[in-house]
Structure 1
Amino acid sequence: MPISKIAIGNSSELSRPDALKAALAEFISMLIFVFAGEGSGMAYNKLTNNGAATPAGIVAASLSHAFALFVAVSVGANISGGHVNPAVTFGAFVGGHITLLRSILYWIAQLLGSVVACLLLKFATGGLETSAFALSSGVGATNALVFEIVMTFGLVYTVYATAVDPKKGDLGIIAPIAIGFIVGANILAGGAFDGASMNPAVSFGPAVVSWTWSNHWVYWVGPFIGSAIAALVYEIFFINQNTHEQLPVTDY
């Protein structure tokens, strides 16, 4: 069972060069991702004079986040694994693929990367607001929670299938593309309802800089629940050593 593989880690791990390099890679990847993703939203607001959201705006947000995440995951993959998301890190922890202490190091780096990206955006745009994630009119916290759980489940399941599964083979660049695509698709599905975060760090940076915390808990609880479910499902049914594997064709 995955729960048996969960490890706390050793405190000495936090000072190891590889762990510090991995944390730095997560910081830089998150900065790249949030600067591009949040920046595209700020540019849209400027062009429309903070007008109401439109289908074109949601499509633009979907594409910018998909492209930016593809790059952010790709540049960090060989150093940190390219998590670029505290929920992805949590899913890897639940599956026993990263220790708790290293996870905490990643989380700190990811949150700092998001905050710094938003501060840079605010400075570079002459003080424009970095809009925090918020629920749309008529959408309750419970509705948004379900959206975040399901969307993050899809994201982390994709991460497991394309990047974590030892049977994945040599997928190469396919993993970052698939991860970027599922995030872009989920933004098209949920962007009009709760902003489609799927990433606590992406929500945290704008919230800190704008100091807006309304329903912020949704963007933590939902992704963490969704990632844990995805990790457990994939580990139990597809990675577990007792999983049935189809016989080679030559054995029939």
Structure 2
Amino acid sequence: MTELKSKAFWRAVLGELVGMTLFIFLSIAAAIGNSNNGNPDQEVKVSLAFGLSIATLAQSLGHISGAHLNPAVTLGMLVSCQISLVRAAFYILAQMLGSSVASGIVYSVRSNETKSLGVNSLSRGVAPMQGFGVEMLATFQLVLCVLAATDKRRRDVAGSVPLAIGLSVALGHLTAISFTGCGINPARSFGPALIMNEFTHHWVYWVGPMCGGVAAAFTYDFLLYPKTDDFPDRMRVLVSGPPTDYSVNGRDVELSSK
């Protein structure tokens, strides 16, 4: 619980709230702001909007909160023992709140001719379990990319990590958008659904991505690139958070591991 005493912790939670609000506003506005939404080129436009938004915000907020901006990513980081249970819970709440606020803003500024708010729905002929599978696999590649690109053990990472993650988001949308509208971000699906009160098959957009995030974390951390030598320390992170960001007399200080 020491994290709750840290100003850096609350700045990180605020960063997730602000980042998610901007992300949903930018991406949903791009998705509904075109009268030719049914055309194939719209899928490319929306995919790029989501990917570029994430890349930009990851660059802007990554040093503050890690710029998860996605409950599935947060859950993957939790399973990977990189954040605490408390931080994961507050991040997800902030992400859902930011998505809801942004969706309300888009709803209020959309044109009178636009009836949509980008609520995710299964395409005709796609069964819920099929949608679940698509969402799970699309999210799997995203969380795998996040874990690999941010792995501090690597010395071979070149180029921009935020851009790599943004491209992974765009790839997930290009893959899944024709099947499910692409809901690899549960908070993104939640905000518009809440404002429009449309929750048909909404479980697909939570269970699928969350399972994908957990599967990616287990696959990367325990099968592809195991890191078991520091397992006791990693388990302590789940309870107390990393050995940093503890506040003493109103100042944030860094604790060194013994």
> TM-score, normalised to structure 2's length?
0.83
Q: Which runs of 4+ in 1 moved over 3 A?
A: 126-129, 169-173
1:33-182 equivalences under 5 Å are 33-44=23-34, 47-48=35-36, 53-125=38-110, 128=114, 129-163=116-150, 165-169=151-155, 171=157, 174-182=160-168
Contact 1:134 1:214 (8 Å CA) reproduced: yes
**How far 1:187 sits from its partner (Å)?**
1.1
> TM-score, normalised to structure 1's length?
0.85
Give 3-state SS (helix, strand or coil) of 1:240's partner: coil
**How far 1:75 sits from its partner (Å)?**
1.3
Q: Which amino acid aligns with 2:13?
A: A
Residue correspondences, number: 226
1:195 to 174, 181, 202: 181
2:221 to 204, 229, 235: 235
Contact 1:162 1:174 (8 Å CA) reproduced: no
d(CA) in 2 for partners of 1:115 and 1:15?
27
Unmatched tracts of structure 1, length 5 or more: 1-9, 243-252
Q: Which amino acid aligns with 1:121?
A: V
Q: Which amino acid aligns with 2:180?
A: D
Q: Which amino acid aligns with 2:82?
A: H
d(CA) in 2 for partners of 1:79 and 1:159?
16
Q: Which amino acid aligns with 1:70?
A: A
Contact 1:114 1:201 (8 Å CA) reproduced: yes
| Residue 13 of structure 2 is aligned to residue 26 of structure 1 | no
d(CA) in 2 for partners of 1:13 and 1:228?
24
**How far 1:126 sits from its partner (Å)?**
5.1
The alpha-carbon distance between structure 1 residues 131 and 140, as it changes in their structure 2 partners (threshold 3 A), is same
Q: Which amino acid aligns with 2:192?
A: P
**How far 1:168 sits from its partner (Å)?**
2.7
**How far 1:182 sits from its partner (Å)?**
1.2
